[in-house]
Structure 1
Amino acid sequence: MALFSNPRFRYQLKRILPFGIIWLVLSWFVLLIESMAMGYENQRPETDITVTWNIFLFASLAVFLVGLAMGAVEILWLGKLFKHKPFWQKILYKMGFYLLFMLLINLITFPIAASIELRTSITDEQVWHKFSNYIISSTFLSTMVSLCFSILVSLLYSGISEHLGHNVLLNFFSGKYHRPKEESRIFMFLDMKSSTSFAEELGHKTYFRFLSNYYNELSDAIVQYQGEVYQYVGDEIVVTWKKDEGIQNHNCLQCFYAMKQSLLNKSSYFKKTYGVVPTFRAGVHLGQVTTGEIGALKKEIFFTGDVLNVTARIQKLCKPMGQEIIVSEELAQQLEKEGIRFESLGNMELEGRKKSAGLFAPKV
């Protein structure tokens, strides 16, 4: 149970689980099409497995687990290995790897299914006679074609999920924000210090790699403390939480300090590679937003509300006020209930707003 309470584990599980579902649904679809074509009878008993309920349950479980295995390999290893390759190379190399992997799985599971169908031991001669017929049959070829299709669909899902973001893709599929809805959310605007001088010093190509490394170092902390990346805007990143998730265990503040520590741990790498070490300032605020799908040529999940403008203004006050993080009064009041202590920075006029805002800095 402790494993399931780990946010990082839950995040990875949510990314891997769709692979198992994709494989399961596609296998049922292929089985239905083949059964309809064969008149719901096994017309090639010498090579094909007769589908009984036991066979169906075994095959469904096996396919689901194979999908999960592919998802785990893709998310935890192979996806990272080919991260910087062009899209067509990713598909080509991964297809080759997964085809060999699925061929091995196919050759392992068929004798098991045959032994279940024939109600005999897997070492029985009948099982291996059927297996030898299977690997030289058209059934084997059609199975590999269906596996190729499942692999391709999974890789397309993986690529789209990587570019849109896993949560955004799931929200599109579920239709969660098809109609705009109101939510209470926490937003954190992080802005890199001295980014303009870094860009001038490094040049645009090196600065791009620098930004990529910078964002990669922040990602683990965001996942660990249940945040979602809303936007990357140049050297600025916008992170958001639903109110309860951001307040719980002080996730929105814990995330800030974890990101800071992550960069500190890699400071020698940044200094050696780029000659500079990135740091950032942040403004954090809580308020109501309207959330929904927006866009004609390109759809995205969009937040709109005064809270975003206020958070951006708060972040801009960090530098003149000499603070690395400033929290709004609305959020500070909620976090104080959870035991966090704050130092008042007074009320400040925010650009473009008539009403002043109470600002606070966490006491650490």
Structure 2
Amino acid sequence: MATEYQNQRPETDITLSWDILIFASLAVFLMGTVMGAVEVLWLDKRFKNKSFWKKILYKMGFYLLFILIINLVTFPLAASIELGTSFLNTEVWQKFSKYVASITFLSTFTSLSFSIFLSLLYSDINEYLGHTFMINLITGKYHTPKEESRIFMFLDMKSSTSFAEQLGHELYFKFLRDYYDQLSNAIIEHTGEVYQYIGDEIVITWELQKGIENQNCLLCFYAMRKSLQQKSIYFEETYGVVPSFRAGLHMGKVTTGEIGALKKEIFYTGDVLNVTARIQKLCKPMEQEIIVSEKLVSLWKFSDIEFVPLGNMELEGRQEPMELYTPKNKV
């Protein structure tokens, strides 16, 4: 649309100047803001239940139409700035008509179509596999297994068995999908990664520093709980039940690497996963919503977080007992 220095096609292209550059920057910023808001608030939800390729094609059609309209509106404005004349001047519209019929317009629209397709393809694959999986796969971060320190949270829904019996398997599936969808924003906002969905249980993990930083792994728990509470009326009206959960948190060394011949996965092995699962199972008999291991609590000993000791508890399958805590609920 705009060419730098000497304009080779002045009859169809806009010559770049500081005025044009400022106008184009503002137009791109506003368009990006509007498109982002539409994606988050409406478009993603609108095509959420469509198949993978239908979702991409429908979104692509919407974005191309949107960009086409923006392009057809902004070009006459840019042309009027370039020519130093009114938006309604015949020179502006003569240039506009030549632009629409030119190779410039065709090439611009073709390149935009390709870029949008690749962006949507990457975005949707990333959504299916997890928001960090694609990056790790492309960079080969775990192609060779490596040892690292990680925090794990095992999150288990309360009364899930009775919910499943009450709702039936088809409605229960929709219920689970809504439940997990409601947790996703809180996980992303607090830098968590979903490791596994296991029925009504979800396993979330953090690299140690990311989980400790800004109290992410703890605040994620409270953010997820708040998100479900805000949606309680919807769950009550739609399913007749409102979900809630209990969680166990622990940290330790794991070996992380790619595994699988037919389907690649990032896989974690280490005692920390078994221990976290055991800690989570103690929530119900100890009547706690969240239990944190002493090992993880020790990393916050100089922070303003307050923890209530629950005692030195024996964990199933382990010989040595472990000191457990629950955070004071100030969030």
TM range, normalised to the smaller chain?
0.7 to 0.9
Give the match for residue 107 of structure 2.
142
Deviation at 1:268, TM superposition (A): 3.6
Deviation at 1:206, TM superposition (A): 0.5
Aligned positions of 1:111-122 closer than 5 A: 111=76, 120-121=83-84
Deviation at 1:115, TM superposition (A): 7.0
CA distance in 1, matches of 2:121, 2:23: 24
Q: 2:277 corresponds to which letter in structure 1?
A: A
Segments of structure 2 that go 5 or more residues without pairing to the other structure are none
Give the match for residue 231 of structure 2.
266
For these two proteins, the number of residue pairs brought into alignment is 323
Deviation at 1:235, TM superposition (A): 0.3
Q: 2:114 corresponds to which letter in structure 1?
A: F
Provide Cα deviations, 1:126-173, integer angstroms capped at 9, x if missing partner.
Answer: 554332212123443333233222222222122112212223223334
Give the match for residue 176 of structure 2.
211
Residues 1:189 and 2:154 aligned together: yes
Give the match for residue 352 of structure 1.
317
Provide Cα deviations, 1:97-150, integer angstroms capped at 9, x if missing partner.
Answer: 22221112322444566678xx64264765543322121234433332332222
Give the match for residue 36 of structure 1.
none
CA distance in 2, matches of 1:67, 1:297: 38
Q: Quick check: 1:345–1:361 contact (8 Å CA) kept in 2?
A: yes
Q: Quick check: 2:310–2:326 contact (8 Å CA) kept in 1?
A: yes
More deviation in 129-138 or 200-209?
Answer: 129-138
Give the match for residue 209 of structure 2.
244
Give 3-state SS (helix, strand or coil) of 2:285's partner: helix
The change in CA–CA distance for 1:80 and 1:55 in structure 2 (over 3 A counts) is same
Give the match for residue 163 of structure 2.
198
CA distance in 1, matches of 2:20, 2:135: 28
Match of 1:86 among 51, 55, 65: 51
Q: 1:339 corresponds to which letter in structure 2?
A: D
CA distance in 2, matches of 1:45, 1:298: 53
The change in CA–CA distance for 1:233 and 1:275 in structure 2 (over 3 A counts) is same
The change in CA–CA distance for 1:90 and 1:220 in structure 2 (over 3 A counts) is closer
Provide Cα deviations, 1:307-342, integer angstroms capped at 9, x if missing partner.
Answer: 111111111222233322211110122223213333
Provide Cα deviations, 1:226-282, integer angstroms capped at 9, x if missing partner.
Answer: 333222111001122232332334332232233233333433432332222222211
The change in CA–CA distance for 1:248 and 1:152 in structure 2 (over 3 A counts) is closer
Residues 1:133 and 2:98 aligned together: yes
Aligned positions of 1:257-296 closer than 5 A: 257-296=222-261
Give the match for residue 24 of structure 1.
none
Aligned positions of 1:47-196 closer than 5 A: 47-48=12-13, 65=29, 70-111=35-76, 120-121=83-84, 123=86, 127-196=92-161
CA distance in 2, matches of 1:227, 1:88: 28
The change in CA–CA distance for 1:176 and 1:105 in structure 2 (over 3 A counts) is farther
CA distance in 2, matches of 1:237, 1:135: 52
The change in CA–CA distance for 1:184 and 1:111 in structure 2 (over 3 A counts) is same
Q: 2:324 corresponds to which letter in structure 1?
A: L
Give the match for residue 301 of structure 1.
266
Deviation at 1:181, TM superposition (A): 3.4
> What is the CA RMSD across the aligned residues, in angstroms?
3.4
CA distance in 2, matches of 1:258, 1:334: 21
* TM-score with structure 2 setting the length: 0.81
Give 3-state SS (helix, strand or coil) of 1:359's partner: strand
Q: 1:363 corresponds to which letter in structure 2?
A: K
Q: 2:175 corresponds to which letter in structure 1?
A: F
Q: Quick check: 1:58–1:113 contact (8 Å CA) kept in 2?
A: no
Give 3-state SS (helix, strand or coil) of 1:283's partner: strand
Give the match for residue 362 of structure 1.
327
Q: Quick check: 1:193–1:280 contact (8 Å CA) kept in 2?
A: yes
Q: 2:128 corresponds to which letter in structure 1?
A: H
Q: 1:89 corresponds to which letter in structure 2?
A: K
Q: 2:118 corresponds to which letter in structure 1?
A: V
Give the match for residue 219 of structure 2.
254
Segments of structure 1 that go 5 or more residues without pairing to the other structure are 1-26, 32-40
Deviation at 1:204, TM superposition (A): 0.6
CA distance in 1, matches of 2:223, 2:236: 20
Give 3-state SS (helix, strand or coil) of 1:272's partner: helix
